[in-house]
Amino acid sequence: MKKWIAAGFVMMLMLCFGKIESIKAAEQKVYQFDFGSGSVEPDYIGVRASDRYNTSKGYGFQTPEHMKDVAASGTGVKSDAVQFLAYGTKSDNTFNVDLPNGLYEVKVTLGNTARASVAAEGVYQVINMTGDGAEDTFQIPVTDGQLNLLVTEGKAGTAFTLSALKIKKLSDQPVTNRTIYIGGDSTVCNYYPLNSSKQAGWGQMLPQFMSKNAFQVRNMASGGQFARGFRDDGQLEAILKYIKPGDYFILQLGINDTNPKNNETEAEFKEIMRDMVRQVKAKGAEAILSAPQGRATDFNAAGEHTALNRWYRASILALAKEEQTALIDLNVLSSSYFTSIGPEKTLALYMDGDTLHPNRAGAGELARIVAQELKKLGVNGF
């Protein structure tokens, strides 16, 4: 009888204080972690930088000696964070969570940071999250009973911090939903906050034109990226780890490849792009090439927008034909649209004082055009 009373008393304490010391007691569908030395939000598990992983509680930092508690400027879970002092996609300075095998949705909330990426299982998951308290979500299959995650370099010399994680189980099957992966540069990539940023890339806006039940979109594009960098610096690696038959990979590069500082000739660009296309096809997925749109000011004397000779477009078209790969000629398609609305309205779709980077409205129009072409190509869900 005394044992039952004692057990009941312990349970009452746990309910009253909302503190869960272990996630091992039973399989859960949602796990929430609040990082830092401040107060812990209701329904969250508090985690300090000094909390080392052990098998009894099922979560913690692999190497807490390389972690630090820091303040953050937000409220609630965003009021504090932990900083990763050691990082890199292959680093073992990870936050580990024991999870039953399956497919999970992970929501990441960063602390104060200029630009940081999220890695898990040794590859990038989210590229270049910017701004204090930035949030993003990704799917990840767990196949070895544990998630290993860290925040890593987006911009050298800045702090890489984590305020909160929400991990939700989607399926017992450790396979991602059908996915459209996107590779590209600053005209394609995500900007934060995702739902309200003034600047946007068309990859960020593409989900608005899709059925959520058909595909998820994983935008792995990043500002300043060129073909060799995308292939060799971890972004393609992340895609190849998960891409599978039934998935698509849309690849749009060329703008930064023409910049002399990247030391990449057009012939080299074409062969690197070919290599990426073939690696994706070897996984049983479909590759789609896209030719970048021109500048807002690419109007001729007749009032026609044309940018046919920009960004190695000729090599992109030739490669699509040689590799029998689907093509979205966003260059021509966007020019047709810009011609129809005229120079003034076209300029209004770009960032102020910037003729290259679309604003949110401009990115939305480019995404609409891409979605229309995907539908024409027979990709369902648009």
Alpha carbon 51 to its chain's center: 27
354 is catalytic: yes
| Selected catalytic residue, list 34, 257, 305, 357 | 357
Do 179 and 242 touch, CB atoms closer than 8 A?
yes
* Tally of CB atoms within 10 A around 247: 22
C-alpha closest to that of 346 among 332, 333, 362, 357: 362
| Selected catalytic residue, list 43, 232, 233, 354 | 354
> Which token pair is 229?
């960098």
The DSSP annotation for 247-315 comes to: -EEEE---TGGGSGGG---HHHHHHHHHHHHHHHHHTT-EEEEEPPP--TT-B-TTS-B--TTSTTHHH
290 is catalytic: no
| Selected catalytic residue, list 186, 222, 290, 315 | 186
Alpha carbon 310 to its chain's center: 27
Q: Residue type at 303?
A: G
What are the residues whose beta carbons fall under 8 Å from the beta carbon of 74, sequence distance 6 or more? 111, 132, 133, 163
Report whether the peptide linkage leading into residue 193 is cis, meaning its omega lies within 30 degrees of zero: yes
Q: Is 188 exposed, middle or buried (0-12, 13-18, 19+ CB in 10 A)?
A: buried
132 is catalytic: no
Beta-bridge partner residues of 61: 52, 95
The catalytic residues are: 186, 354, 357
